Amino acid sequence: TSNTLLLNTCFIPHNLLSLSETIPISERMAANALMSCGIAAVCPSVLSSSKSKFAAALPLPHGGASAASRFTMTADWMPGQPRPPYLDGSAPGDFGFDPLRLGEVPENLERYKESELIHCRWAMLAVPGILIPEALGLGNWVKAQEWAAVPGGQATYLGNPVPWGTLPTILVIEFLSIAFVEHQRSMEKDPEKKKYPGGAFDPLGYSKDPVKFEEYKVKEIKNGRLALLAFVGFCVQQSAYPGTGPLENLATHLADPWHNNIGDVIIPRGILP
């Protein structure tokens, strides 16, 4: 009986549903049970007819439609924290983190995305450039720039003099090079091409597979953010122990963790044992 009533409900034209008062009370009760199980979602057109007495006898359960429509996006960086509407997760590495609401203006948001990515790439170049020479015993990144403070000082790279290695010459070369690159990037109107310009240089074919390329974008921004934090750590460490590199400072800490740590800097020495 219930199956027959379901078929009748879904396929009988609306103009015939006015005859539903002839349906026995037992079948009406069965229809109510079916509707409470969600049949209204299967045959919504039946309920939409205001002329049908049968539709009036089968009310939609309260909250049935609204419960399905209630959906709140939460930020991935803090469970339960609402995600800002302008951070929809479409950008690589977007976890809904913007506690200061800096990206509410769309133009600013695109600029911040571009700036973050560029700084991430610089940081990923800087961090290995700091660690590798020190690991090879070629000096730390702090002492590497001391030549610039000496009048007529000559720049060296891994112990070898650099051609045109005087400070004024290097500054001019860097200024012209960066100005040319930034000018070319500023002329691009497509925000995606500003961040991922593409080009012929892709020897490993990372951009050939669109799915993999999107995955690489996320990996790039994650590693870049880690490199930014690492560089900030290098700067803080250098401020606490001037003249030492990060690896030297790490070795000193591991040799005596109880006396060579952040407390040695922020806690007066008379308090420590």
d(CA 131, CA 89): 34
> What's the chain's length in residues?
273
Binding residues for chlorophyll a: 116, 119, 219-220, 223, 225, 237, 253
Nearest-10 Cα torsion for 84, 86, 89, 93: -90
Amino acid in position 188: E
Q: Where are the domains of the chain?
A: 2-69, 72-104, 106-266
Q: Which residues contact 187 (CB under 8 A, 6 or more apart)?
A: none
Binding residues for chlorophyll b: 121
d(CA 155, CA 136): 19
Tell me the average pLDDT of the chain.
74
pLDDT at 127: 95
pLDDT at 68: 42
pLDDT at 23: 52
What sign results for the dihedral spanned by CA atoms 36, 38, 40, 42?
A: negative
Q: Say whether 107 sits in a helix, a strand or coil.
A: helix
Q: Which of 44-48, 132-136, 215-219, 262-266 has the lowest mean pLDDT?
A: 44-48
Binding residues: 116, 119, 121, 219-220, 223, 225, 237, 253
Q: Is the pLDDT of residue 45 over 60?
A: no
pLDDT at 2: 42
Mean pLDDT of 239-261: 87
Q: What tens digit of pLDDT does each residue of 46-95 get? A: 444 444 444 444 444 444 444 444 445 666 667 777 888 888 888 888 88
Q: Which residues contact 84 (CB under 8 A, 6 or more apart)?
A: 75, 96, 98, 101, 103, 104
Burial of 85 (0-12, 13-18, 19+ CB in 10 A): exposed
Q: Which of 114-118, 211-215, 257-261, 264-268 has the lowest mean pLDDT?
A: 264-268
pLDDT at 30: 52
**pLDDT confidence bin for 38, thresholds 50/70/90:** very low
Query: Dihedrals φ, ψ of 124, to 5°?
Result: -70, -25
Amino acid in position 266: I
- Domain 106-266: give its CATH superfamily: Chlorophyll a/b binding protein domain (1.10.3460.10)
End-to-end CA distance of the chain: 87
DSSP letter (8 states) at residue 65: H
- Which ranges in the chain belong to alpha helices (H)? 2-11, 25-34, 40-42, 44-47, 53-57, 64-69, 106-135, 167-186, 191-195, 210-240, 246-255, 263-266
Q: What tens digit of pLDDT does each residue of 88-119 get? A: 888 888 888 888 888 888 888 888 998 999 99
Q: What tens digit of pLDDT does each residue of 136-183 get? A: 888 888 887 776 767 777 777 767 787 877 888 888 998 999 999 888
Nearest-10 Cα torsion for 126, 132, 137, 142: 10
